[in-house]
Chain A
């Protein structure tokens, strides 16, 4: 069953404004569409500045969209007034890369987790404390931690606190914005397992925003790869990783450092860096860095649209013949 449907989402920053009239807007998100089923995880993958975090924040209206629609369980999110939006936020939550910056340093962990329960009047009196204790236990923390303050905890524990806080209002959908990127590998594995367990036990849907394809493969069956504010390839994680059709996906995949010296994978080392989203290249935004042997004038002039190629959808004029491995 469909839970969330995003159509032609656009988010521009700095468009207009008195001091910036002459500067072009930053086109952080530039026409993105996708759907998310109940209980499913969709991963949004891309490098810094590709617009993946802006999408998560815009869907929750932590930032206002420039254009497009978002329908969550039949509700048009972008047309809601403040009161209705607050009701909806009970069902849509977000966890961040750095939970420390989203926790109030002067609020105990228990108070931080209880806040949502109290705002939405989900419990009262001693029942609040019982719920907080149960939530802390569910995310693998000792209930006595409720009396502690955020600075007393490690990065992994803080991330668990952030997750407990998100779960407190019993959401059905959580935006996970790089939730394990700042964690050490052994702690990262603990948090990934926790997210998988919570999804299984509570039927949660995740929009999982990440830059690491190996992490994505662990948590999501479906993935969308972003470049300069657009989805350039989308499909099942297995298909996309085994037969990438967009050259950028192939390059991203080959750049993942694999802990196996015998893997024999050839690296595609891309030239250059992602261009500025305020002045994206003409035609295919990837063309200045593209290594596709069939690259032509068409790539410079005509923007490719997302279309079915093999087992995935890819936005490349020559997706049929994309080399998955090239010598450099």
Chain B
């Protein structure tokens, strides 16, 4: 397995009204391997989207990536890059797609123009070659009637087609890594299935590493090699997808599973996690899940590190020691 990205102790902070900094992302570490998908799963406010933005150094000020964080893209130290070198990384080596393609597409340029723009910015090709390449990309992402769509404007396309355009743009410069932040959340289920299928084929064909950010455990089940569950700015459990689903171990992960309605098996009353996610400016002390945890005990007042549950399976809970 070839590692393409190494993130160590990533911390992202923002100042509160009084100028004191708080940490929506607080010590996240993971790696991405060529041809593999890592999914980060969590609810609103857990820090998963900020984690993905940090990879491209897109944290909006006054937010910042803090001292001691490390992001290595093969041999490149991403956090040491100057802005012109950073441009070569964004798009060229890491491509990104977001939940709502309409806000990322420019309404006054044709789809073909916008894809070609990305190609011309990064690759030494002529305008004609870029346009041909744009068409190829549209075909590769399964755009119906691709030659005609090249001259379409974003508003003339459906949500699913726009997301295909976004994927084509993200792929234009042949990145090693694709970051997909809730790529199908705004789409209908039948279209969601199509888009996930396209992403999977592209990963396999191009050997890209994919970071999939989602709130939906169901999407993870069929698509990711490894899963990290995120809560209150930290990973709380990480494992291969099959291990995580076979043996969800952190009480928060277990709570998520018990909250999801199922399409098969007996219909039972759902067992929701009590309470709500705390705000980032007030992460609880000790184990951050402690105030909502049915299994909290004396030791939970001390902050747990990631502890081994099994081979390649860790969680941030003292129960792992039992």
Contacts and interface: CB of A to CB of B under 8 A. Distances in A.
A184 B263 contact: no
Contacts of B255: 186
Nearest to B43: A184
A259 B245 contact: yes
Given A185-B215, A259-B220, A217 B194 contact: no
A270 B190 CA distance: 6
Interface residues of A, number: 43
B261 interface: yes
B256 A185 contact: yes
A269 B218 contact: no
Contact of A211 (B189, B216, B246, B256): B189
B263 A217 contact: yes
A189 B218 contact: no
B106 interface: no
Contacts of B220: 259
A125 B160 CA distance: 54
Interface string B203-228: 00000000000011111111000000
A260 B264 CA distance: 10
Interface residues of B, number: 45
Interface in B110-169: 144, 158-161
Interface in A249-293: 251-263, 267, 269-274
Given A217-B262, A262-B245, A273 B160 contact: yes
Interface string A182-196: 001111111011001
Contact of A257 (B218, B245, B269, B271): B218
Contacts of B161: 273
Given A184-B44, A184-B215, A259-B257, A270 B270 contact: no
A217 B272 CA distance: 17
Nearest to B159: A48
B267 interface: yes
B270 A192 contact: yes
Contacts of B267: 217-218
Given A185-B256, A256-B263, A47 B219 contact: no
Interface in B250-276: 255-264, 267, 269-273, 276
Contacts of B194: 269-271
A154 B276 contact: yes
18 contacts: A184-B44, A184-B277, A186-B259, A186-B272, A189-B270, A193-B270, A214-B260, A217-B262, A217-B263, A218-B270, A251-B190, A257-B218, A261-B222, A261-B241, A262-B242, A267-B222, A273-B190, A274-B188
